[in-house]
A and B are shown apart, each in its own frame.
Chain A
Amino acid sequence: METLLLEGNEACVRGALAAGCRFYAGYPITPSTEIMEMMARELPKVGGMFIQMEDESASLGAVMGASLAGLKAMPATSGPGFSVMQEHIGFASMAEVPCVIAHVMRGGPSTGLPTQPSQADVMQAAWGTHGDHPIIVLAASSAYETYELTIKAFNLAERYRTPVILLSDAVVAHTREAVTLVQADMEIEERPQPTVSPEEFLAYGDPGNGVPPMPPFGEGYRYHVTGLCHDVRGFPTTRSDEVDFLLRRLLSKISRDSDRLQWFDCWHENSETMVIAYGCVARAALRAVREARDKGLDVGLMKLKVLWPFMSTTVSNVLENCRRVLVPEMNFGQVSREVERVNQGRCEIFTLNKVDGTAITPPEIVRKLEEMHP
């Protein structure tokens, strides 16, 4: 095991290469650019392909082309670049093209605050592209977690044939810290391959788990890939039974497996007050919880690593055992509304929202916790 001093963006590249990513297409944008720069240096050394594209839409298009040809592939982006990518996130979802999108959040809307952190794209990550669609969104709170979750993001993308979005932010991306690479402990998954002959192969059927096998282009399985609603062979259809089958399969291939997507860490989970946080705020929250406990407050922390599909059952179980919850976020309250939805009025939900481009600090969370306690 190797221990290195890495920032989050570098850890993302390390994780991607460890997961087998061999194609990167990107467009420069702060604060994600280091991912592209490091990929440009490192990919040729391992026989991988790098290309700088003309915009973020093109980046994700090239990534999907490479994925269809059989390579694990990713782009990284931030802010406006993520908005430009949305059309192709929908295509990846509809045509079931595995890919990982690293999105380093910065202040918005529009050009916003290019160099400063934010968590305002949690909802966009789930719903930014049009149409009901499945998505998996992970959130990293440290350089190590960025490394670990990048590997897991590739595994999920391959396992479910879906785009997976890895959210970080300018704080996580640019904070340099010790990262121990424990690749050996992590299983690397590959996309399922057909076990039947090309004649019998259904490119978009349901083999039982909702995820059809995916042979790469050029290997004898000639099939059609489209962003239109398609039948089990991949050909466009408007037949209501075929459309219904497709959209329900797409959604259920992930939702039926949600038990395997409960990734979180808890500290003092049976406390009277729980903080629920993610990304860089979870780190401030951990410090705040320790300080608040020193002051005699009965407080715990739940750190979310999966944001979508939202871990409703797990969060509900945590809510069951506490009286009040604080959801600090660097936005106007995107995860707090999900927590409220799951809460069903059982606990008192408090929010702490900061949108000025600076990170939420431990003292701010401690102060809020003190206010919340009668």
Chain B
Amino acid sequence: MKHKEHLIRKYLRPSKKMPTIWCAGCGIGIFMHALVRAIDRAGYGKDDVVMVSGSGCSSRIPIYLDFNTLHTTHGRALTFATGIKLAKPRLKVITIMGDGDAIAIGGNHLIHAAKRNIEIAAFVINNQVYGMTGGQCSPTTAHGTRTTSSPYGNLESAFDISRVVEAAGAAMVGRATVYHTPLLDRLIDMALHKKGFALVEVIAQCVTYSGRWLGLTSPADMMQWQRDNCVRVERAQGLSEEELAGKIVIGVLTNRERPTYNDEYRKLFAEVSKI
């Protein structure tokens, strides 16, 4: 408890009035705590961290944290983050997005940031719903789910954000839930230290909206659902497609070395200076 108080004093903005805007039982707070712990472990100076978010519930995280913080337009956090990383490569750029934010309105930016392999630690808080606007169907909502914008059931199937980003070329991709916090801690550490584009998909509960659609009304029920419906990637490799149906694969999905955009640009500088 003593350590927690220390983190609060060290990283939460004293001038920002609490409480947060999140509903009681929301999964975003668990992620924010994990992220702050990881930043503390990494030992970054507060001036050296830039936190960029898009729009939605999870994108409010930077407001509460004492870094250089930027709360941008819906879907476009990665474009701002790209400019910051190129202009000042020494800064640690962290991007926080929601699921609709990252892969619906921001899908093109997401795959291009991964393709460029620009050194950004990107976190997508996937609660399978547009929470801030009142529980509409999102790109990660499961087929058949009833929401306020799919009152007869979702006609589309869900996006697998991690697989899309992996295919686009990210250097590191991992997925965890806010229930699996030791894994979450490990993935955040990896993403922060990764040279290149690193994405962690964080499955989180939206008790107010998606819980209602799933028939789960308490935060504990939703976290138990996370516990019971996830499979570690190591175990998933030995399972058939039928056995994996409806399951969420968690763990380190990709970890590879690729030159970053900044690396390539440094080479270009060297070339140009010879001309």
Residues of A within 8 A of B (CB): 23, 25, 44-45, 47, 49, 51, 53-55, 57-71, 73, 87-88, 91, 216-220, 222-228, 233, 235-236
Query: Known pairs A66-B86, A217-B84. 19 more at Cβ < 8 A?
Result: A23-B83, A25-B83, A49-B87, A53-B79, A58-B82, A62-B86, A65-B70, A65-B81, A65-B83, A68-B70, A68-B80, A69-B88, A218-B47, A222-B47, A227-B71, A227-B72, A228-B71, A235-B63, A236-B63
Residue pair A51, B86 in contact (C-beta under 8 Å): yes
Residue ID in chain B nearest A51 by CB atoms: B86
Residue pair B272, A61 in contact (C-beta under 8 Å): no
Residue ID in chain B nearest A62 by CB atoms: B83
* Bound-state Cα–Cα, A87 to B62, Å: 21
B-side contacts of A216, CB under 8 Å = 88
The distance from the CB of B60 to the nearest CB of chain A, in whole angstroms, is: 8
Q: Please tell me which stretch of B24-32, B33-41, B250-258, B261-269 contacts chain A, meaning at least 4 of its Cβ atoms lie within 8 angstroms of it.
A: B261-269
Does B181 sit at the interface, judged by CB under 8 A?
A: no
Q: Name B22-78 residues within 8 Å CB distance of A.
A: 46-48, 50, 52, 62-63, 66-73, 76
Q: Which 8 A-B pairs have the closest CB atoms?
A: A65-B83, A61-B79, A62-B83, A69-B87, A65-B80, A66-B87, A66-B83, A226-B71
Residue pair B269, A225 in contact (C-beta under 8 Å): no
The distance from the CB of B223 to the nearest CB of chain A, in whole angstroms, is: 29
B-side contacts of A66, CB under 8 Å = 83-84, 86-87
Which of A51, A71, A217, A228 contacts B91 (CB under 8 A)? Answer: A217
Residue pair B91, A57 in contact (C-beta under 8 Å): no
Does B20 sit at the interface, judged by CB under 8 A?
A: no
Interface centre among B62, B76, B91 (most CB of A within 10 A): B76
A-side contacts of B47, CB under 8 Å = 218-220, 222
Q: Name B83-127 residues within 8 Å CB distance of A.
A: 83-88, 90-91, 108-109, 112
B-side contacts of A62, CB under 8 Å = 79-80, 82-83, 86
Residue pair B16, A235 in contact (C-beta under 8 Å): yes
Residue pair B269, A70 in contact (C-beta under 8 Å): no
Q: Name B148-190 residues within 8 Å CB distance of A.
A: none
Known contacts A218-B91, A222-B47, A65 near B79 by CB under 8 Å: yes
Does B133 sit at the interface, judged by CB under 8 A?
A: no
Residue pair A225, B71 in contact (C-beta under 8 Å): yes
A-side contacts of B275, CB under 8 Å = 45
- 6 CB-based A-B contacts, threshold 8 Å: A54-B108, A58-B112, A59-B79, A66-B86, A70-B88, A235-B15
In this complex, the interface size class of chain B, counting residues with CB under 8 Å from chain A, is 35 or more
Residue ID in chain A nearest B15 by CB atoms: A233
Residue ID in chain B nearest A44 by CB atoms: B272
Which of B48, B69, B272 contacts A45 (CB under 8 A)? Answer: B272
* Bound-state Cα–Cα, A64 to B72, Å: 10
Residue pair A218, B109 in contact (C-beta under 8 Å): no
Residue ID in chain A nearest B68 by CB atoms: A217
Known contacts A44-B268, A71-B87, A224 near B82 by CB under 8 Å: no
Interface centre among A60, A62, A66 (most CB of B within 10 A): A62
Residue pair B70, A225 in contact (C-beta under 8 Å): yes
Residue ID in chain B nearest A63 by CB atoms: B83
Residue ID in chain B nearest A55 by CB atoms: B108
Residue pair A222, B261 in contact (C-beta under 8 Å): no
Residue pair B88, A91 in contact (C-beta under 8 Å): no
A-side contacts of B91, CB under 8 Å = 69, 217-218
Residue pair A58, B67 in contact (C-beta under 8 Å): no
Known contacts A49-B265, A65-B80, A65-B81, A23 near B86 by CB under 8 Å: yes
The distance from the CB of A364 to the nearest CB of chain B, in whole angstroms, is: 43
* Bound-state Cα–Cα, A363 to B250, Å: 73
* Bound-state Cα–Cα, A27 to B253, Å: 32
Residue pair B63, A224 in contact (C-beta under 8 Å): yes
* Bound-state Cα–Cα, A224 to B60, Å: 11
Residue ID in chain A nearest B91 by CB atoms: A218
B-side contacts of A63, CB under 8 Å = 83
B-side contacts of A226, CB under 8 Å = 63, 70-71
* Bound-state Cα–Cα, A350 to B96, Å: 55
* Bound-state Cα–Cα, A62 to B63, Å: 21
Residue pair B269, A44 in contact (C-beta under 8 Å): yes
Residue pair A57, B86 in contact (C-beta under 8 Å): no
Residue pair B82, A51 in contact (C-beta under 8 Å): yes
Residue pair A54, B109 in contact (C-beta under 8 Å): yes
A-side contacts of B70, CB under 8 Å = 65, 68, 217, 224-226
A-side contacts of B48, CB under 8 Å = 218
* Bound-state Cα–Cα, A150 to B174, Å: 45
Residue pair B79, A57 in contact (C-beta under 8 Å): yes
The distance from the CB of B98 to the nearest CB of chain A, in whole angstroms, is: 16
* Bound-state Cα–Cα, A224 to B59, Å: 13
A-side contacts of B261, CB under 8 Å = 51
B-side contacts of A223, CB under 8 Å = 68-69
